[in-house]
Amino acid sequence: MPLTLVSSDRFADHLMPPGHPERVARAHVMQAVTAKWSARGVPVRAPRPAIRDELLRVHAPAYLDLIAGTAGRAVKLDPDTFTSPDTAEVAALAAGASIVAVDAVLDGAGDPAVAEGEIRPDLFSAVVPVRPPGHHAEAARAMGFCIYNNVAIAAAHALARGLTRVAIVDYDVHHGNGTQWTFYGDRRVLFVSTHQFPFYPGTGSAGEAGSAGAEGFTVNVPIEAGATAGDYTHVFDRVIVPVLQAFEPELLLVSAGFDAHMNDPLAGMRLSVEGFNGLARRLRDVALAARCPAVFVTEGGYHLKVLGACLDGLVRVLLDDRSSASAVAPDAVPVPVSGGSPDAEPLTPDDLPLAEYATVEPTHRGPAAVDLVRAIQTRYWPGL
C-alpha cells in the first residue's frame, strides 16, 4: 500500500510531570521512526492544527474554551492528565494530523500515478505518530492522558466529506471510551475495540453495543488479562475481520496503541512486536479487500523500545516490506533515554535490549472473549 507519514517535532512540546508514563521521550521515538522511513523515501507530511469547527464535531464548546484557557500554563485536568504551556497548541496539532492523514488517503496522497490510472486511490494508507493520545477524551472531558479525541475527529471529518461507512478499530489495551460515546448512536461509524477487561477506564463490556437505532455498530471485545498473540489472532479472525467485511467500510481508522505488549508497564497482556504486526497485516488485508484506505493513529504504548519496534513494524507491514523474516529488528530504531527535555529521567527498562518471551498459542482467554461477543452481536452480525 502506498504510505504517507504525518509527523511533527512539535509533539515533543507537550510536557508531563517527572515520572509520568506519557513522557516526551515517546515523541523522540516517534521522530526516530519517522526519520528512518523518510530517509528511505516514505513521504512525510506536516500536520496543521485542527480548527475550532473541526474540533466542535466531537467536543463541546465549553470544553474547547477550557483547553484554550490552559495556554501558557501547567494545569491538572484529572488525576493523570496534565497540560503544559504548549499543550493546547500541540493537542490541536495532533487532532489536525489525523485530519491531514484522512485527506491524504482519500485524495490519493496527491500521487500523479493516481491521475494516470496506475494506482488505485483506495489503496493509500497513513501512519500518524502523535501525542497526546486521544481515544479516552470525551466530548467535555479530558482523561487517560488524552486532550482531544484524534481518531474521533478524523472520523467526523471523513463523515463531513460525505463518507457514510467509517470503521474504527481500537487495539489499545485500554477501552476507547471517548471514541465509543462519540458515535454510540451513529450507524455510519462502526467502532470495534479489543481491550483488557476489567480495567481502566471501566467501560467496554460486551453488552455496550450501541444505542437505539445503532445497535451492533459498537462491538466491544473485552479480554481477560494475560492474553497472548494467539488469543488476539483468534479474536481478530473470528470477530473483528468478519464484522469489518460485513460492514464494507469506505475508510478504516485504527487507534494503534501498543500497550498490550508483554513489557508495557501499564497493563497485563502478553502480545509481542510480531503479534502487533500480525494484527496490522489483518487490518491491511481487510482494507485492501474492501478497497478502502486505512489510517493508523497512535494511542498508548509506554515502553520506549517496544513503541519504536511496533511503529517500525507497522510501517513495514503497510509497505508490505518482507525484507526480514521477523518484520522488525527490535533495536533498529534508536531510543533516546536521557536529555533533551525538562522531564528526562533514568529509564533503565528502556535502556535494556528488548527481550520477548512470546507464545503464539491461544489460552482460554481468546475463545472466551469470542463466545461472549457472539452472544451479544450475532443478532446484528449473523456471519459471526
Non-local (6+) Cβ contacts of 282 within 8 A are 236, 237, 240, 241
Cell numbers for 308, please give them.
519504536
User: Rg for the chain (alpha carbons), in Å?
Assistant: 19
Residue 213, helix vs strand vs coil = coil
Alpha-carbon distances, residue 293 vs 50, 144, 289 (angstroms): 21, 29, 10
The answer to whether the CB of 49 falls within 8 A of the CB of 11 is no
Provide the b/e sequence for 12-23 (b: ≥16 CB within 10 Å): bbbbbeeebbbb
Residue 76's identity, in one-letter code, is K
Rounded to an integer, what distance in angstroms lies between the CA atom of residue 119 and that of residue 109?
A: 11
E strand map for the chain: 3-6, 44-45, 75-78, 81-83, 125-128, 166-170, 189-196, 218-223, 251-256, 294-298
CA separation (Å) from 89 to 51, 121, 185, 213, 240?
11, 32, 30, 37, 35
Query: Known catalytic residue: 136?
Result: yes
Helix axes 304-319, 24-39, angle to 10 degrees: 30
Query: Can you count the helices (H) and strands (E) in the chain?
Result: 13, 10
Q: b/e for 331-344, b at 16 or more Cβ within 10 A?
A: eebebbbeeebeeb
Residue 129's identity, in one-letter code, is: P
Give 348's contacts (C-beta < 8 A, 6+ positions apart). Answer: none
Active-site entry in 14, 136, 157, 303: 136
CB–CB of 294/254 below 8 Å? yes
SS3 6: strand
Phi-psi category of residue 109: left, alpha or beta, with phi > 0 → left and psi -120 to 50 → alpha: left
Active site positions, annotated = 136
